[in-house]
Structure 1
Amino acid sequence: MTSASGTEATYANVSGQQVDQRGNITVISTDSNSWLGSASKGPRSKAELVAFAPNGSVLYYNSSHTRYWDVDPIEKSNSASRSGSGETVEYLYSDHMNASQCPDFLSKDYWQSNEYANSVPYAQWQEYTRSHSGDGACTRNGIVQTNLKTGETKNIYSEITPGKHSTRWHDGDRINATHYAVADIFLDRTYIVNTETSNITWQWNAQSDYDPATTGREYPIDWTHINDVEVLPDGRIMADLRNHNSIVFLDPTKPSDQALDEDWTIGQTDNHSILYEQHNPDYIPRSNGGPAVTIGDSENNRVIEYQRSNGTWTRTWEWKDAHIQWPRDADRLPNGNTLITDSNGDRVLEINRWGEIVWAVDIAFPYEAERLPGDESAGGTSTSAAGINSNANGPIEQVWLGIKDALAGPMFSATQYILPQWMGFLEFGVAVFGLIMALSWGVVEAWWLSTPIRERIIHSIRSP
């Protein structure tokens, strides 16, 4: 198998994986196509959290959860165990549970006794819960702190949500030693929780500012798909509404119906040229050439950056190549390089200022990557301030990118969950073409065999 950098490599879920050396630890979380945690064959059969040491060896490995999502480094001052270091991280996970393990979500006793449930009105809780009752399962979403070097682990906070697919939390961001901001996909909100008491101290419900009847996907099954939240240096919260093709900025000092700073929103619900079901936006502050935001613009098969100037957002940078397929993360590193998580491309890669790949690892279905000790794009500079230009692709790559753009959309991306790992975009296209040709041949063959020979001959003679 050939890696993204053109060398022979194996997947990270094969023991003995060794990658090229890099200056610091690289942590990668992966998604999977397992459903109730029962692994099937293939490199996407189980989710993984893997950390590569600076020398390229595997420093840490964990495959005990159904899904791994956000990973953040933890400073000692914010560490729950007060042992934070350059090797300590917090990650979000999701574990699917069978129906027999799930609580009675619809009972009023459960709603009254559970801080997470009763933080919304009972009628709303019932509405959302019933929309996922057909899954026959539930999901434990949790936050875990672990030291990658020693393996010391501490459970920080968790809650159980009904259903599976659209109830799995993808992201959270630590505010201080006791409080966390959570992107709550299930209830279409962002909230702040005291992880020591489970008390929810603030929340923003998307219904405060968006109409479920005219925006997003089907309500309430997967309306907003809030998949990312980031606490900004000024105390605001940036949240990603994937299914609204929008990134919003919220003020947690204000009530839900006043928290949205609408002038700062990036994207429009029905304008896919700005954003199209994006993931993991990273904020670059004014001190580093911002305000700017790097984004995995997933359905547009590109990573981009928006710069704010004179009260408006302008796209100032874009990177993609012929191999990129549904990227879900892009972190600007302090040296000006960008660390990209190419999910359906099954790779994590680092590009330099000129768009050249300088480091890469093949790993199945990655969700996010972090280069420690920095947190996402912390310490990175905006492309405008650093003079970094978008990359240019050759004519052959432009053809492939044009075909990808024509096929872009959630349905095509969803096929990657069920296709074998070796079937990339090119292989998928060849397979579809072959299927069409086979069906066409079958129709002609059936017509020929079902028509008497005499009629076929007469028809052939009379035809001009």
Structure 2
Amino acid sequence: MDRRARGLALVGLGVLVIVGTLAVGAVTAPDRSVTDGDERQTLVGSQGGGTGWHDHGSVYLVDSDEIAWREDSADSYFDVTMLPNGSVMAGFMHSGYEDGCGPYETPCTKTGFRVIDPDADGGPTVVSEHAVPVRSQGNSEVHDVERLPSGEYLMTDMDAERLVAVRNGEVTWEWRASELYTAPEDPTRRDWLHVNDVDVINESHYLVSVRNANQLVVVERGAGAVEVINADRGGSDDSCLVRGEQLVPDADGDVRCGDPDVLNHQHNPQWLGDGAVLVADSDNHRVVELHRTESGEWEPAWTLERAGGIRLDWPRDADRLSNGNTLVTDTLNTRIFEISPNGTVVWSRETPDTSPIPYEAERLPEGERVGGQRYPGGEAAGETDGRTPTATPDAPGGDVPGLSLGMTVLRAAVPSTPFWFGEAHLGFSLVGLVLVVGGGIDRWRAL
């Protein structure tokens, strides 16, 4: 076979490998849309899509399996809460502000929270906004806001890495993470701790997610940090330095870093009661329920790694519902689903193509509650009195060594990547691409 014919054959084989990989993946992909006929209302905050996920943000209500309304005037939305009067409160980030930019050049980016009236004439409308300018568009956003009985609004300020309470636009209280963690000279110039969630445990205690340290912190108002869940093990732990070395060592060279086998860059913990929390354990690609042991350590008691035949991919929210089921925001699989204690997916909804990257979801009317049913503890998945979902067959796109980073980069750059496209599909597609390029070079040299 001459070089030209061999090149043509290689190109044909490469195209066949790529097309076959995509076709088989699409045909064998599990269904993300599941319903049992029960009526459900689910409120969703979407970070959006586009490059860096800083565009096409939205807040929308899924009524059973249809989108009832949608508000999309911000680049990104995050935590969502329905208030007693029916309005919706949402953390947000938006760029292009011409006024009130403080020390930053215009147009600038602002972050904070908005209140949306979903029943306004003309459709869902932003009726109020509390926003402050920030240095950068990414990793500076207010990801969570809670309305306190006092009338204050409690926010996570990721730009300055603190909790801050405001009333009528004025700061009434704050807790700075630098009280517990060694701080850089200027937290606004780096993604230091990524404080991404706060939940009210009671009138004086708040549960805080410190993502980059793999830790949850219980903060008492007026006293500071009173408990660290997944406490650091001492020393300089590289597992907390994987995102650009955000943590700062103390004088002894140590960093506060929790065990990544317990929590790894988590989001949106829910306080189930004293001694139990439910967490979206994002970089471990699972949902985990942690229980406090008699020794005071926190250990995984229940884990969820698959649902509906699909491996979880960077989940960022999990709520234990009043019926005992768990509502999960499976971010990079672009779906929201509800799963029963025995592992059955009773409802699932894929996110819209216009705003594919979900951040958080709440089931209405209950919202994210303080307190919830605990699942019995066990040594490993599948061993918790039948409550941990049993293992399902490997979903398309299971782990292939060396390609996980490539999938992370691909999904960040192209949010519309099909949910079923995993490491195996990427590997075969790269093989096909090499064959096409190699064949093309052979044909070019033969000219």
User: Counterpart amino acid of 2:166?
Assistant: V
d(CA) in 1 for partners of 2:50, 2:99: 18
Q: 1:388 to 1:185 in 2, by over 3 A?
A: farther
**1:47 correspondence with 2:84:** no
Query: TM-score, length-normalised on structure 1?
Result: 0.71
The corresponding residue for 2:111 is: 141
The answer to whether the 8 A contact 2:397-2:423 is kept is no
Query: Higher mean Cα deviation, 87-96 or 381-390?
Result: 381-390
The answer to whether the 8 A contact 1:70-1:172 is kept is yes
The answer to whether the 8 A contact 2:156-2:162 is kept is yes
The corresponding residue for 1:72 is: 81
The answer to whether the 8 A contact 1:5-1:359 is kept is no
Q: 1:424 to 1:360 in 2, by over 3 A?
A: closer
d(CA) in 2 for partners of 1:228, 1:21: 33
The answer to whether the 8 A contact 1:37-1:96 is kept is no
Query: Per the alignment, in what secondary structure is the counterpart of residue 396 of structure 1?
Result: coil
User: Deviation of residue 102 (structure 1)?
Assistant: 6.4
Structure 1 unmatched runs, 5+: 10-18, 40-45, 76-83, 107-132, 452-464
User: Deviation of residue 273 (structure 1)?
Assistant: 0.8
2:408 to 400, 404, 413: 413
Q: 1:168 to 1:388 in 2, by over 3 A?
A: farther
The answer to whether the 8 A contact 1:333-1:379 is kept is no
User: Deviation of residue 220 (structure 1)?
Assistant: 3.8
The answer to whether the 8 A contact 2:117-2:127 is kept is no
The answer to whether the 8 A contact 1:60-1:148 is kept is yes
The corresponding residue for 2:361 is: 369
User: Deviation of residue 166 (structure 1)?
Assistant: 1.5
User: Deviation of residue 342 (structure 1)?
Assistant: 0.4
The corresponding residue for 2:172 is: 201
Give per-residue Cα distances to partners, 1:142-178, cap 9 Å, x unaligned. 3223344455753152222222001111111111252
**1:307 correspondence with 2:291:** yes
Higher helix share: 1
The answer to whether the 8 A contact 2:398-2:422 is kept is no
Query: Whose RCO is larger (CA < 8 A, sep 6+)?
Result: 2
Structure 2 unmatched runs, 5+: 1-25, 233-255, 378-383
**Cα RMSD (Å) of the superposition?**
3.6
The corresponding residue for 1:261 is: 226
Q: 1:372 to 1:320 in 2, by over 3 A?
A: same
Q: 1:156 to 1:440 in 2, by over 3 A?
A: closer
The answer to whether the 8 A contact 1:193-1:201 is kept is yes
d(CA) in 2 for partners of 1:105, 1:340: 39
Query: Per the alignment, in what secondary structure is the counterpart of residue 167 of structure 1?
Result: coil
The answer to whether the 8 A contact 2:102-2:133 is kept is no
User: Deviation of residue 179 (structure 1)?
Assistant: 0.7
2:391 to 390, 393, 401: 393
**1:93 correspondence with 2:102:** no
**1:247 correspondence with 2:216:** yes
User: Counterpart amino acid of 1:207?
Assistant: S
Aligned length: 379
The corresponding residue for 2:247 is: none
Give per-residue Cα distances to partners, 1:295-329, cap 9 Å, x unaligned. 11111110111112432212111012133211000
The corresponding residue for 1:31 is: 47
The answer to whether the 8 A contact 1:307-1:316 is kept is yes
Query: Per the alignment, in what secondary structure is the counterpart of residue 31 of structure 1?
Result: strand
Query: TM-score, length-normalised on structure 2?
Result: 0.73
The corresponding residue for 2:334 is: 346
d(CA) in 2 for partners of 1:343, 1:22: 24
